Amino acid sequence: MVVTGAGGQLGRAVRAQAPDVVALRREDLDITDDAGVRAVLEPGDVVLNCAAYTAVDAAESDVAGAFARNETGPAVLAAACTAVGATLIHISTDYVFDGTGTQPYEPGDATGPTTVYGRSKLAGEQAVLRLAPEAHIVRTAWVYTGDQRDFVATMRRLERERETVTVVDDQIGSPTFAPDLAAGLLELARSVAADVRSIAPILHATNAGRASWFELARAVFAGVGADPERVRPCSSAEYPSSTPRPAYSVLSNRAWTDAGLTPLRDWRLALDDALARPDQ
């Protein structure tokens, strides 16, 4: 198995559970380099593409950079996989939807990204399906480890530094623990390699349940033994961002379970495990 973007949050989680994978960080492989990509692939490989441009705010002014990493790179990987006889699993995002839904998004629901990041990720999906019809796309959302610079890690730090913190309560999603997602992706990769079941081209994988950022922040405070009342709610309008975030990002995992894959556990159970780890 080949993992691209192996130096990122999800890539590191995959490597921790499968140390025998061919792990390629950004400095090891530029996924926009066709010759470089083809040089590392062999027939029968399963390629898990964790490489992405994920700086949502920066993407608004770095359109070329976002599309290079999120569209051109996946297109190059897809074409190379088709050429050599490898299978691609490509990671995508809830940002391909417009965030105005009220029910969990199914893979076949209409997309409508409202940000450069979302548009670049959707373009990458389309390129993958066009160039590698046997590929699988896995959309996820709100991924964290809790020990780096993600939202959970930030809340752990702010709990120590501030008496109160204010967090938006009108954006809803499914917090997803990177090691849980990594385990699911490895299960998917094994199924793809064994070709033992029919698996839809687009899947959603997140931890079960839903929360607002405010609820997640309070759960972090409670989980480290702090008073959750120290987290105060506010609306998105009261906490303006240079790039709007989806109001609703819950993804349906139905296609995942229909494929016989193990559903990811409830987000609160995953958060307990994340908070048991030392943060940095």
List, for residues 178-196, the tens digit of each pLDDT value.
Answer: 999 999 999 999 999 987 6
Amino acid identity for residue 164 in this structure: T
- Which residue among 117, 144, 239, 248 is the active-site one? 117
pTM here is: 0.96
Asked whether residue 84 carries a pLDDT value surpassing 70, the answer given is: yes
**What mean pLDDT comes out for the span 235-253?**
90
> What average pLDDT is seen over the chain?
96
For the residues 58-86, what does the mean pLDDT come to? 97
Query: d(Cα 89, Cα 69) in Å, to the nearest integer?
Result: 16
Catalytic annotation present for 117: yes
Q: Judge whether residue 110 has pLDDT over 90.
A: yes
**pLDDT at residue 241 in the model:** 78
On the question of pLDDT at 279 being above 80, the answer is no
Find the mean pLDDT for residues 214-239: 96
